[in-house]
Amino acid sequence: MFDHTSRYYQIKDAVYETEDGKRVIYKLRRMLPQGSEMSALSVVTVLEGDRPDLVTARAVGDPEQFWRICDANDAMDPFQITDRPGRLLKIPNIKI
């Protein structure tokens, strides 16, 4: 269902059964890691006009991995990581 690079790939499935017997499969909650506990591969500076995908493409070569940078910087909203030009972002070690 999810690509191996998705934040939900390793999350286990659960099943909810409705009153009429229909089974609904869903993913369990993804617990967010603590950014302070993640090691940094590097640090990048947010530039004027940056978006999460642009920063991630520049830093790790895959714009779809922005969620990993959000995790490392304790950002629930991806746009929090690029809302202040000049901000330093921790780039975690990303294995794709």
Is residue 5 assigned to a domain?
A: no
Tens digit of each residue's pLDDT (9 = 90 or more) over 61-91: 999 999 999 999 999 899 999 999 999 999 9
Q: Are 2 and 8 in contact, with CB atoms under 8 Å apart?
A: yes
Number of structural domains in the chain: 1
pTM: 0.74
Is residue 15 assigned to a domain?
A: no
Tell me whether residue 78 is exposed, middle or buried, using C-beta atoms within 10 angstroms of its C-beta: 0 to 12, 13 to 18, 19 or more: middle
What is the span of the domain harbouring residue 50?
33-92
Tens digit of each residue's pLDDT (9 = 90 or more) over 25-59: 999 988 787 888 887 889 999 999 999 999 999 99
Is residue 63 assigned to a domain?
A: yes
Q: Are 90 and 73 in contact, with CB atoms under 8 Å apart?
A: yes
Which pair of tokens denotes residue 75? 């950002």
Is residue 49 assigned to a domain?
A: yes
Is residue 55 assigned to a domain?
A: yes
Is residue 22 assigned to a domain?
A: no
- Residues 6+ positions from 65 with CB-CB distance below 8 Å: 5, 56, 94, 96
